[in-house]
Copies of this chain bind each other. A is one copy, B any other.
């Protein structure tokens, strides 16, 4: 069996997500001819091992994409906006893990287990959804198909790795400072580019990304808009409260979902257990439910605490956990790349 090999670029190769992308391309034995690792000028020159061979990270420029067939972007929205069109011009298909193109009507927003059929509709760019959205829609898709969804109310418990490696470093440093009784110095979180900083060690910060005019943060509005787009139903009412907590890897979510039709609880559990990429961990008697530390390093979405709402007959409560850097980012992107590769063969 012959297999086409691709010239692949990873933009943001030294970032938290980029590292995971590179690791997954190796682990999945992605059909690569040439691998080009790109970053900002600051990180250019960094050496990264891939399949036993040292690669030097280069500065990403418009000309970096000559000959590239698949480009995975995770270097922030501004970089994607600036460079993805050049990658497309050079003939690459871009899988963009930023907010830059997600709500563009011409850009498919894809979670393979949910709407892989949309992937072929791209004009050169396929958007990878926000981490907190991906795990939620992967878990809810089988319920939508079977019962319909009228409403979602989600509160998140998000890991600091979602804010990058510097945020991880900051939390670990702050935690040591707090344990040692030293003054805790906030430096990056909640939002690196904003003036006010808050301690994340032993705290919960109800702000992820900037506030919008309606009082919701951008992270919350991403969950609202992306959920509707991916599930393909603008009539679903979605509200989100996004909160950063002192966890390194793994986002947890408390999700209330209102179905359009009456459901059987056992059938709901069965649908979740059988859903692709989703693992049911729901055994209260034995105190088994999804935990961030268990999900870390795994590609799946874990769902538990599945129970009937106490107020609404068609309401359902779930606890959804996944590694925000894997299914929430790198793994979802590499899954899309694998579909693209098959399509381009």
* Residues on the B chain within 8 Å of A211, using CB: 284-285, 287
Residues of chain B within 8 A (CB-CB) of A49 are none
Q: Does A224 contact B (CB under 8 A)?
A: yes
A307 contacts which of B191, B214, B310 (Cβ < 8 Å)?
A: B214
Other-chain residue from B151, B157, B238 in contact with A245 (beta carbon distance below 8 A): B157
Query: What is the minimal beta-carbon distance from A184 to any residue of chain B, in angstroms?
Result: 9
Instruction: Tell which of A237, A287, A319 has the most Cβ of chain B within 10 Å.
Output: A287
Asked if A241 contacts B305 (CB within 8 A), the reply is: yes
B254 touches A207 (CB 8 A): no
Pair B237/A311 contact, Cβ less than 8 Å: yes
Q: How far is the CA of A214 from the CA of B151 in the complex (A)?
A: 22
Contact status of A204 and B317, CB under 8 A, knowing A179-B175, A194-B287: no
A144 to chain B, nearest CB (A): 16
Q: Give the nearest-CB partner of A311 in chain B.
A: B237
A73 to B171, CA, bound (A): 38
Known interface pairs A151-B311, A179-B175; A292-B194 also in contact (CB < 8 Å): no
B-facing residues in A148-201 (Cβ within 8 Å)? 151, 153, 155, 157, 172, 175-176, 179, 190-191, 194-196, 198-199
Q: Which of A239-278 contact B (CB under 8 A)?
A: 239, 241, 243, 245-248, 252, 254, 256
* CA–CA, A157 and B205, complex, Å: 10
Distance to closest chain B CB from A145 (angstroms): 21
Q: Enumerate A269-318 residues with CB–CB distance to B below 8 Å.
A: 284-293, 304-312, 315, 317
Chain A residues 95 to 123 lying within 8 A of chain B, measured CB to CB, are none
Taking a contact as CB atoms closer than 8 A, the residue among B248, B287, B312, B317 that contacts A198 in the complex is B287
Residue of B nearest to A318 (CB): B241
Select one of B153, B194, B247, B252 contacting A256, CB under 8 A.
Answer: B153
A243 and B252: CB pair below 8 A?
yes
Question: A196 to chain B: which residues have CB within 8 Å?
Answer: 286-288
- A283 vs chain B, min Cβ distance (A): 10
The distance in angstroms between the C-alpha atoms of A285 and B211, with both chains bound, is 7
Interchain Cβ contacts under 8 Å between A and B, 23 examples? A153-B153, A157-B243, A190-B287, A199-B291, A202-B247, A202-B248, A203-B291, A203-B293, A204-B252, A205-B291, A206-B254, A206-B289, A207-B284, A211-B285, A214-B307, A216-B310, A239-B311, A239-B317, A241-B254, A245-B245, A246-B246, A254-B254, A256-B256
A interface residues (Cβ-Cβ under 8 A, vs B): 151, 153, 155, 157, 172, 175-176, 179, 190-191, 194-196, 198-199, 202-207, 211, 214-216, 224, 237-239, 241, 243, 245-248, 252, 254, 256, 284-293, 304-312, 315, 317, 319
